[in-house]
Amino acid sequence: MQKKRIDASLTKKIAATLTLLVTMVAFLPSSYAAVEVERLPSAELQARYEVLIEELRCPKCQNQNLAGSDSMVATDLRREVRRLLEEGYTDEEINQYMVARYGDFVLYRPPVQRNTMVLWVAPGVFAALGLLSLILIVARSRNGRGGRQEEEGAELSAEESQRLTQLLNGEQQGGGKRDD
């Protein structure tokens, strides 16, 4: 009888987990990504097109590329990339065209310039600071100075002992009530 209850409980948990998983997958944003129906004339152009729309960011969407966005702006930009490719523009010329229109934001990998230097340097600085912190923590723990109280400060003073005794006696007599 006990085993049947456990089996029923386990079955309900598995069913609930599967239902939650299916629901989460159904609402993933990638499941609503734009689907390109029209192909370019050559396989080379199609491959370049797919790389470009993966590398160009949608100006409307916060952090989504043109391939994954189905906003009207992204649709127009995909159409524009397609037109430029068919007219014979190179990938670099297409990127320059998009930057001229929308700024460096449209590129997932902005060029190293004065105004983007922080984007390129900050990760290295933060990684170096994290590594330095880790080294200091490990060195302190090996020297015996990391996070432990000093031996001489571990004992209570006479005044602190008296106060502790009063608090403990007051708690035992007063039923734990405090007069703060």
pLDDT tens column, 92-102: 999 999 989 98
On whether the CB atoms of residues 77 and 64 are closer than 8 A, the answer is: no
pLDDT of residue 174: 55
Residue 152 has pLDDT above 60, yes or no: no
pLDDT higher at 43 or 178: 43
pLDDT higher at 1 or 39: 39
Q: What is the mean pLDDT of the chain?
A: 79
Residue 133 has pLDDT above 90, yes or no: yes
The pTM of the whole model exceeds 0.85 = no
What b-and-e string marks burial along 27-52, b requiring 16 or more CB atoms within 10 Å of the CB?
A: eeeeeeeeeeeeebeeeeeeebbeeb
On whether the CB atoms of residues 69 and 62 are closer than 8 A, the answer is: no
pLDDT band at 20 (very low <50, low <70, confident <90, very high): confident
Burial class (CB in 10 A: 0-12, 13-18, 19+), 61: middle
On whether the CB atoms of residues 79 and 34 are closer than 8 A, the answer is: no
Residue 164 has pLDDT above 70, yes or no: yes
Residue 31 has pLDDT above 70, yes or no: no
pLDDT of residue 94: 92
pLDDT of residue 105: 80
pLDDT of residue 30: 53
Q: What is the pLDDT of residues 45-74, one digit of tens each?
A: 889 989 999 989 888 887 888 888 888 988
- Per mean pLDDT, which range of 100-104, 123-127, 163-167 is the poorest? 100-104
